[in-house]
Structure 1
């Protein structure tokens, strides 16, 4: 399966655009590699998007005072 075929199939299955699927970067798993979906550590090819967003936002929010100015 070519990458374009995979992107098209994921887009069709998820309802996302092909551009969004391409940007997220789906890859085919190696046939000999097994991934336990119930495992705490799913492997190096799995991205926790929430954790990544938190890491990206952390430097931007460090040191900010979140107390309202009227307090």
Structure 2
């Protein structure tokens, strides 16, 4: 199926114009779900990024002393 055919089919099913559907960027899916590549190591990428940017370990609740 070409992109134009897909746009026409989606437009027909939704009642939108072909131009509107084309702007939305519908694409055909592959045969199965796309699995992301596994991360190297066992870490939280967001936490690792914070550690690198700020140069310190995360603060733990027991590290905070009451005033």
Provide TM-score, normalisation by structure 1: 0.45
Please give the TM-score of this superposition, normalised by the length of structure 2: 0.48
